Chains A and B, each alone.
Chain A
């Protein structure tokens, strides 16, 4: 697994190419990239992401290790930025590689579901009117329940 938490920008195409090139025996690579989204009404000046150095890397490594234990993966990547971001900046990406697409898709979804509510990141939206912490969605917490039944591996 490759876990990276960084302030700097990343090139999602270059990251995906080098991830894919490093996998042996994989027939499927799945990736997801999260992009800084403007508010529905517009006006987002920037988004600031705070995290808990130390715990973040640990939590991400645990999530990736669990995914690698549940599915037959050749490899996994989690890359997440922190600090100030502007609309349309990539925030984070995950990628998974497996022999077959089912494992790669399911593991990528699992990484995203756990990353959203179990990795210590917090988003703050800054507009001209002020700054507001993004509220966690109940749906994000609910999304974890589908992984608790070991028979539902989605493969």
Chain B
């Protein structure tokens, strides 16, 4: 099981801030494709990977980063703090 977290407009589009899932995805990108295939909300949320950032176990990660053994993967738009 892996914990997924969503923030900002990604959270609004998928309709939840977190969920636990079983997945065979090996990388962040594979996980994104798997999620995008779920339903319209997820498809819309993940339609443009260039607008999405990811973190694996709370560290920013590239889309080709492995997720094997990860406890938590998060998806969000580019950050706008400050």
Residues of A within 8 A of B74 (CB): 52, 55, 120
How extensive is the interface on chain A, given as a class? Answer: 20 to 34
Pairwise interchain contact B8-A136, C-beta atoms closer than 8 A: no
Question: B82, A120: Cβ atoms under 8 Å?
Answer: no
Q: Tell me the nearest residue of chain A to B74, going by C-beta.
A: A52
Query: In the complex, A123 Cα to B81 Cα: how many Å?
Result: 7
Cβ-based interface call for A13 (8 A) = no
Query: B57's closest neighbor in chain A, by CB?
Result: A55
Contact of A50 among B7, B55, B58 (CB under 8 A): B7
Q: Which residues of B contact A136 (CB under 8 A)?
A: 77-80
- Nearest CB on B from A131, distance (A): 10
Q: Which residues of A contact B80 (CB under 8 A)?
A: 116, 121-123, 133-136
- Asked whether, in the complex, the Cβ of A133 is within 8 Å of the Cβ of B82, the reply is no
Question: By the criterion CB–CB under 8 Å, are B5 and A122 in contact?
Answer: no
Interface set of B (CB-CB < 8 Å, partner A): 5, 7-9, 11, 55, 58-60, 74, 76-82
Q: 15 new A-B pairs (CB below 8 Å) besides A50-B7, A123-B80, A133-B9? A: A49-B81, A52-B74, A58-B58, A112-B82, A115-B82, A117-B78, A117-B79, A117-B81, A120-B55, A120-B76, A120-B79, A120-B81, A122-B80, A135-B78, A136-B80
A residues near B, CB below 8 A? 34, 49-52, 54-55, 58-59, 80, 91-92, 112, 115-124, 133-136, 141
